[in-house]
């Protein structure tokens, strides 16, 4: 089997860190970017680029230069994302909403545009989505909105790029810093899913980023059997 070449955003912690670690252990060439440097992964051979995806003006040229010369990617995983604060959407500032959209949606557009430039071949693109993109649960405000927009972004690119397979993929519950924040919140009857998350934390229902990554990588080839541009959930695959 030829050596895989993979690009992953948001590799400093959580699921992105787990995905990069798994692919490195598989012997793949792994390109990863994030704001913070994952020193252990870099020591294992990660090709790393320090990027703040909320700052397009500074980061886009740096990203384009970083991937220059790479002729193809087997998989591009758009994993980087932010949650924001759990509160009613009417209480969210436009500034906070715009920041969430910048990272969770718009950075993925310019990353995809850069990756698809110069006739670069990409076999598969996976946008890490969430069940929140469909549920519209109260309190998940900008996160739900941005993940729903990501689903459509992926669908639009699929229609324009038939040689690349695109999927919005929900990984299920993952024990990350995001979950640390959610499960630390006080009980609030308005935001029911928080209690579900608290019950799942520390159980097999909420695996670590590394354990979840292994399951996702095993599932990625099966996504190729589905229509490009669709949404899938690991819990229903």
For the chain, give the mean pLDDT. 96
Q: Name the pLDDT band for 118 (thresholds 50, 70, 90).
A: confident
Residues 25-62 have pLDDT tens digits of 999 999 999 999 999 999 999 999 999 999 999 999 99
Can you tell me the distance from the alpha carbon of 71 to that of 73, in angstroms, rounded to the nearest whole number?
A: 7
**Residue 193 phi, psi dihedral angles, 5° rounding:** -60, -25
pLDDT: is 101 or 3 the higher one?
Answer: 101
Residues 56-88 have pLDDT tens digits of 999 999 999 999 999 999 999 999 999 999 999
The confidence score (pLDDT) of residue 1 equals: 57
**Residue 47 phi, psi dihedral angles, 5° rounding:** -85, 105
Instruction: Give the DSSP letter string of 18-66.
Output: HHHHHHHHTT-EEEEEESS--HHHHHTT-EEEE--TT-HHHHHHHHHHH
Could you tell me the residue ranges of all domains in the chain?
5-173+208-236
Question: What are the tokens at 123?
Answer: 């076999």
Cα 128 to Cα 9, 50, 54, 118, 234: the distances in Å are 10, 20, 17, 25, 11
Q: Name the pLDDT band for 2 (thresholds 50, 70, 90).
A: confident
Residues 217-227 have pLDDT tens digits of 999 999 999 99
5-173+208-236 has CATH 3.40.50.1240 classification: no
Q: Which residues pair with 29 in a beta bridge?
A: 5
* pTM given for the model: 0.97
Asked whether residue 21 carries a pLDDT value surpassing 90, the answer given is yes
Asked whether residue 183 carries a pLDDT value surpassing 60, the answer given is yes
Task: Select from 174, 173, 166 the least CA-distant residue to 232.
Answer: 166
Asked whether residue 11 carries a pLDDT value surpassing 60, the answer given is yes
End-to-end CA distance of the chain: 25
CB atoms under 10 Å from CB of 47, counted, come to 18
């Amino acid at each position: 089997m030829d050596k895989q070449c993979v690009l992953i955003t948001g590799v400093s912690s959580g699921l992105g860190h787990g995905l990069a670690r798994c692919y490195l252990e598989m012997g793949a060439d792994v390109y990863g970017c994030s704001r913070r440097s994952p020193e252990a992964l870099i020591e294992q051979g990660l090709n790393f680029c320090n990027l703040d995806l909320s700052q397009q003006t500074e980061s886009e040229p740096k990203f384009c230069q970083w991937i220059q010369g790479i002729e193809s990617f087997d998989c591009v995983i758009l994993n980087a994302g932010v949650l924001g604060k759990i509160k009613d959407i009417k209480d969210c500032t436009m500034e906070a909403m715009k920041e969430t959209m910048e990272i969770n949606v718009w950075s993925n557009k310019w990353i995809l545009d850069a990756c698809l430039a110069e006739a670069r071949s990409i076999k598969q693109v996976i946008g890490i989505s969430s069940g929140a993109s469909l549920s519209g649960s109260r309190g998940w405000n900008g996160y739900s909105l941005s993940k729903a927009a990501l689903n459509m972004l992926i669908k639009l690119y699929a229609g324009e790029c038939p040689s690349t397979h695109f999927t919005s993929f929900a990984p299920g519950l993952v024990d990350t810093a995001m979950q640390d924040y959610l499960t630390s919140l006080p009980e609030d009857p308005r935001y029911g899913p928080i209690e579900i998350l608290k019950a799942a934390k520390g159980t097999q229902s909420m695996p670590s980023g590394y354990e979840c990554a292994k399951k996702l990588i095993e599932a990625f080839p099966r996504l190729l059997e589905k229509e490009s541009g669709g949404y899938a959930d690991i819990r229903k695959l």
